[in-house]
Chain A
Amino acid sequence: GNSVTQMEGPVTLSEEAFLTINCTYTATGYPSLFWYVQYPGEGLQLLLKATKADDKGSNKGFEATYRKETTSFHLEKGSVQVSDSAVYFCALSDSGEYGNKLVFGAGTILRVKS
């Protein structure tokens, strides 16, 4: 079946450091790929997405490129801020008859220190 593997955390960085969170996937078809972010005490919200190979999703300084050859969708940001502290989830969508089923990775906690 489909699955998503992302790097374990927590990841602790100083403000303005470079961020990479690795994500790889296994899928039988051709999925869409997502990064969702969960800030403390809140629900998940979409950070960025990509729907086909070599697409780059970007938002709020974060970027990720859909790499079909390496089945990866790594999240990057050039300079993190304290406000980026959150849990980041990589996910893929598996279209079922009754809706897009999202398959999530375990999540990576990011802590940014000032």
Chain B
Amino acid sequence: NAGVTQTPKFRILKIGQSMTLQCTQDMNHNYMYWYRQDPGMGLKLIYYSVGAGITDKGEVPNGYNVSRSTTEDFPLRLELAAPSQTSVYFCASSYNRGRGETQYFGPGTRLLVL
């Protein structure tokens, strides 16, 4: 199993550009999550999903959109990039939402908006 994979690893965007961060998991997990990690800060939840067609906002959803058309994929869309979106983005997945359920993380995408 590859686990959780993310592409690209690194990207530079100009202000106002758009892009999609890709996330795929091959563990047949129902739940998927997007986090951002700013320097010196813990991860903050952007969006999450329980399965195809069902998503919900996390703590910091503004400026982002998600969709979940398959169990495996959970792309994150930035429509109008802003410098405040410079961050490292992590995708994660879990099989269930039971007490103490482990989330499995991808390697991250580093995004720089100039």
Contacts and interface: CB of A to CB of B under 8 A. Distances in A.
> SS class of chain B's interface: helix, strand, loop or mixed?
strand
User: A36, A42, A89, A99 — which one has the most chain B CB atoms within 10 A of its CB?
Assistant: A99
A43 B100 contact: no
Interface string B10-37: 0000000000000000000001010100
> SS class of chain A's interface: helix, strand, loop or mixed?
strand
Interface residues of B, number: 32
Contact of A99 (B94, B106, B108): B94
A69 to B, nearest CB: 20
Interface residues of A, number: 28
Given A96-B56, A106-B41, A51 B107 contact: no
User: B50, B101, B104, B108 — which one has the most chain A CB atoms within 10 A of its CB?
Assistant: B101
Contact of A104 (B4, B42, B101): B42
Contacts of A42: 107
B99 A51 contact: yes
Interface of A: 4, 32, 36, 41-46, 49-51, 89, 91, 93, 95-107
Q: Which 4 A-B pairs have the closest CB atoms?
A: A104-B42, A43-B105, A51-B100, A32-B100
Given A32-B99, A44-B90, A44-B105, 10 more contacts: A41-B107, A93-B99, A93-B101, A96-B97, A98-B31, A98-B49, A98-B54, A99-B97, A102-B33, A102-B45
